[in-house]
A and B are shown apart, each in its own frame.
Chain A
């Protein structure tokens, strides 16, 4: 090449300049190595964490809640599949935009969505935003998948109550665990969006019924496609409950109250089994188990009928003359009277300057204890009460389980009031007045009881003094093993009365129905014994008007407690009708229908011994579960 020689010096120059390239190369590579060392060694663990989070999403697997059956295996609460909307905050780039999208797309309440997405809690766990999406809503979400990063629709089981309003107070309802609940230790293993029982059996037995959530770790690729699922922890379904109630009896009890407010409790006095427990007005637990807007919730809570109040265990009312059953036993046991002691009733009892009226204007004449019960003579019990004094009265009332919890397995049972001088001092900071003893002796004044306590009380009488703790759940089935654990009847206490006392009272109570204040409870089907009660709500006593002229809310509460059959009682009933007037006219007929229903239901297949019954139901229940 001609030019080769010409450029020889330049070649040399070029080759000398190679040193620049060599040094430059080493410098740059050293810089790269340093950078890589920084990334991989110094910050390696940090990036490894990031890469783990990049690929895995934790998903809670909600456990299936345990099923709830009645005593005959009729399903009262089950689960149905439904769509739930979750948002994985990690994948949400623009929260405001998402809130807007969800609000527009599904017509959700903006404040609600915002609350869900901004609530405190783990960022790693998806947030539950809405449950029970309709198919349309779920489809809408799915069709907008690409515009909604981090939004997931999952199929979950939702609590369902096939009976609707039936036994609603007893069953209760479920709802999302509240932030306040989450703070408590018993909810420590839960998370935002967890469903817990908020009322009734659902709440009381929540631990058993709830089950245990599982967790899976889903490995997702960059497009959010599931690649691999690692189950970290299996979910465990909750236990099944077999209640003691008979849903047929329950429905009758509820229909008997109809539109009225009130409560009906039916127990098996031999075991304490709750056969029916009605409280009206009721509510639909299906509605309450859904997420409610604050407005909907306010409507329910502020409803004057207070539908969320379980009147059977939480309603407190003066017992009125029903109290006389306890008084009679107390009078005999404390030797205040003998069965043959007679007291003359001329329609009023003078104490100091005040005349205490009998409900019967002309009086009952001369009555012994038996007649006093049958006719519900007030003057007799005024006298007895005055003689025994408030302290004796209170101690016997406590013996009958008043002023304390029956121990029923429901949340927030109320205990009523058994007044005494000590109680008054403490509650009102005032001394006890002698006249107050007179009101108390016919179950007025400060005395307050719940219908459940009354049912338990009459059941105790029926069961010859042995009180059982009211039992709602007969058996629990472990869903993992299928093992059925029977829950025994728990005797609570035995009345310490002379043996002749209770038979005498029972005989008198039978008379109440055959010839006394409760003849409207007389049944051709079964012998019934009972006691009426008319509890004054306000001091309207003196100028008696005709019942229908008094505004409803000032009318008396109508009580009736009963047991049947008289010679071998298998059912004890307490009926309370709020502002329904006289126990004999308003409540006694209801008790009669209920008892007759009970007898009819049990006639074809006579009540089996409890053990056998549970075993039989278990089989039936087991099949349904499978």
Chain B
């Protein structure tokens, strides 16, 4: 009975601006994917598949929106355990693509656990912090760190540098928001700085050759323009060639002629930027910023810590992905495989992102329910 009331209230609070933004960005994404891949002449092209993912994503969105996030949070540990198992399965059974093993084949499709791991981690950490006592930073930092570690290691092993960094970003954002004392923050920062050379050494050593080369190429894109710097250079050319007004839909020669690899996935932003120019890019940035701003409002009005933490985690993850993706396509960061949320082609990422946004709205829906 009370569920009914909540549900009706949910619809009362149905945020059309929020939903509208999501679908506009999704639409822009499909258009860009269509632009790059429409001439491939396959029966079931990428843009059509992406629409299927959006439909499935919408289902996930609704499920996450209409459930009770407290109930979802209670499933966090088992879910995290399952994800760890899946990540382990990926390592042994997964499908390789371009040197990385990230997918579990499922019929004609492939399922990427690392994408879902991000959301599960957010829920898990939010759940942990909302329950954790406020004392000591063993509970604040070390224990949740230990929680993050196995997932992080499994993901880095694939290797999926992008998802791994997202993991760290989510953890860091949680730490920041959970009420870490300034003094403690300072200690951690100092400690991190001291540890950085060792960490770097370890990380550099554990990186795959191609990852190292990408970073080298980032430092100097002309280092090997036909090789590892190729993505970075072609992406920058695509974006730059868009100039103010862009080359128009389907007019992006960089992407249309496949100079730009991965135009439908990680580099979808470059495709968009080439076709729509700086004006289009600004508009898109505004869409993302608005979406995130609205999300921040949800945090500000969250009625409990769990809701706030969930929302913060989701927002930080989205922000991180948007900024790092655009930053890498624009040559500000090394290229780490991070898709652009809501725009890049990909089933796991699309469904996960939409589920996250559903959960975010769930927090808002519950804002007015006191019980």
A interface residue numbers (CB < 8 A to B): 1, 3-4, 7-8, 10-11, 13-15, 17-18, 20-22, 25-26, 28-29, 31-33, 35-37, 39-41, 43-48, 50-52, 54-55, 93, 149, 219-223, 227
Contacts and interface: CB of A to CB of B under 8 A. Distances in A.
B226 interface: yes
B226 A40 contact: no
A7 B292 contact: no
B289 interface: yes
B323 A32 contact: yes
Interface stretch (B28-36, B52-60, B294-302, B351-359): B294-302
Contacts of B176: 17, 20
Contact of B239 (A33, A40, A46): A40
Please list the 5 inter-chain residue pairs (A to B) with the smallest Cβ-Cβ separation, ordered nearest first.
Answer: A47-B240, A44-B243, A51-B241, A221-B257, A40-B278
B12 to A, nearest CB: 23
B250 interface: no
Given A14-B305, A41-B243, A35 B131 contact: no
A36 B243 CA distance: 9
Contacts of A47: 236-237, 239-241, 243
Given A14-B179, A32-B285, A51-B254, A40 B259 contact: no
Contacts of B177: 14, 17-18, 21
A96 to B, nearest CB: 15
B258 A222 contact: yes
Contacts of A44: 240-244, 278
B66 interface: no
A220 B260 CA distance: 13
A44 B330 CA distance: 13
Given A54-B234, A219-B257, 10 more contacts: A15-B302, A22-B293, A25-B289, A25-B319, A40-B273, A40-B281, A43-B240, A51-B254, A55-B254, A222-B258
A54 B305 contact: no
A221 B255 CA distance: 9
Contact of B253 (A35, A40, A55): A55
B324 to A, nearest CB: 10
28 contacts: A4-B304, A4-B305, A7-B130, A8-B305, A14-B177, A14-B312, A15-B300, A18-B296, A18-B299, A18-B300, A20-B176, A21-B299, A25-B293, A26-B289, A32-B323, A33-B281, A35-B330, A36-B285, A36-B330, A39-B240, A40-B240, A44-B241, A47-B241, A48-B240, A52-B253, A219-B257, A222-B259, A223-B258
A50 B235 CA distance: 12
B243 A40 contact: yes
B332 interface: yes
Nearest to B307: A11
Contacts of B296: 18, 21-22, 25
A7 B240 contact: no
Contact of A10 (B178, B238, B257, B285): B178
A25 B292 contact: yes
Contacts of A50: 237, 240-241
Interface of B: 70, 130-131, 134, 176-179, 226, 234, 236-244, 253-254, 257-261, 273-274, 277-278, 281-282, 285, 288-289, 292-293, 296, 299-300, 302, 304-306, 308-309, 312, 315-316, 319, 323, 326-327, 330-332
Contacts of A18: 177, 296, 299-300
B316 to A, nearest CB: 7
Contacts of B315: 21
A20 B259 CA distance: 39
Contacts of B327: 32, 35
A229 to B, nearest CB: 14
Contacts of B282: 33, 36
B85 to A, nearest CB: 29
Nearest to A219: B257
Most chain A beta-carbon contacts within 10 A, residue among B237, B260, B300, B332: B237
A52 B253 CA distance: 8
Given A17-B176, A25-B319, A40-B278, A33 B285 contact: yes
A21 B239 contact: no
Contact of A3 (B130, B234, B240, B244): B130
Contacts of B273: 36, 40
A51 B323 contact: no
A32 B328 CA distance: 10
B332 A10 contact: no
A35 B332 contact: yes
Nearest to A44: B243
Contact of B244 (A41, A52, A93, A219): A41
Given A45-B243, A47-B240, A48-B243, A221 B305 contact: no
Contacts of B306: 1, 4
A11 B257 contact: no
B335 to A, nearest CB: 15
B281 A93 contact: no
Which residue of A7, A21, A36, A149 has the most chain B CB atoms within 10 A of its CB atom?
Answer: A36
- Looking at A22, A28, A149, A220, which has the most chain B CB atoms within 10 Å of its CB? A28
A36 B281 contact: yes
A7 B253 contact: no
Contacts of B240: 39-40, 43-44, 46-48, 50-51
A10 B179 contact: yes
Given A44-B240, A221-B259, A21 B316 contact: yes
A50 B278 CA distance: 18
